[in-house]
Amino acid sequence: MNWDQIFSRLSVTGVTALLCGALVCLYATKLVRFIFRERGERLVLPVRLAGLALAVFGVIVLLDFIPGL
């Protein structure tokens, strides 16, 4: 396997969106508590869904459903 050719085909936008979305999903509770302090308990689920949407967008870009990104 030629790893240089494999890595050259990956989109930086897709990888970044996938990793950021996965991290937002994983650490949603800590992130919401850090930003909103005590008032943010109800925002955990929407933040997780936003992270999931960002990760799915990254996968779509990586699979070349949106060419050029």
Does residue 44 surpass a pLDDT of 80?
A: yes
Q: Using CA atoms, how far apart are residues 21 and 68, in angstroms rounded to an integer? A: 20
Q: Using CA atoms, how far apart are residues 69 and 66, in angstroms rounded to an integer? A: 7
pTM over 0.75: yes
Q: If you average pLDDT over residues 51-56, what whole number do you get?
A: 97
Q: Using DSSP, state whether 22 is helix, strand or coil.
A: helix
pLDDT 10s digits, 6-23:
777 888 899 999 999 999
The answer to whether residues 59 and 22 touch, using CB atoms and an 8 Å cutoff, is: no
Does residue 27 surpass a pLDDT of 80?
A: yes
